[in-house]
Amino acid sequence: MKYFYIVTNRFKDPDGVNTRKIAHFLRSKGAECVCQIEQEQAFNKTGSYSDVRLVPDNTECVIVLGGDGTLIQASRELSEKDIPFIGVNIGTLGYLTDTDMSSFEETLESLLRDDYEIDRRMMLDGCIYRGEERIFSDMALSLIHISEPTRRTPISYAVFCLKKKKKQTSRMPSSNHMRKKKKNNNN
């Protein structure tokens, strides 16, 4: 793997210190790296961290710096690219992210050596209907949470799983998450 794109949560890396550290590491190993924070138009006031139009076509891996929320948002926004993601936790929780700033070099070395596995995760398409009218639609990674802050009783909902017709060529969008290959302890 040689071509990377870095998406950064600017609220967790406001000065870009961690982003530059990872970019420098990759470039020092001969990899090419584009950082979204270097593209000023990528950041907007809606809270979006990534813009699919700015991801170079030759990108082989998206590195997401932030927490699980940043990884989920980037997966949704960049899902049409069908590029593997790896999360670097600079947030608080990090159950979806694969590494953190103390161990990112080892993880990225594995990617550079093509020593990794890809976990495919299905993206969910959620829609809210009022009667027959669709009032909201969005894509999510892993789960969709439905709540109403002023309501004390559970919200009732229906889940429909629709199979695509065989003659359609499109597939269910997915997000690819990468991780280092596990060492074989039998050697």
Active site residues: 68
Residue 108 three-state SS: helix
Alpha carbon distance 138, 69 (integer Å): 15
Phi, psi dihedrals of residue 98, rounded to the nearest 5°? -100, -20
Whether residue 110 contacts residue 180, with contact meaning beta carbons closer than 8 Å, is answered with yes
Alpha carbon distance 118, 75 (integer Å): 14
Residue 118 three-state SS: strand
Alpha carbon distance 87, 176 (integer Å): 11
Alpha carbon distance 164, 150 (integer Å): 37
Alpha carbon distance 85, 154 (integer Å): 35
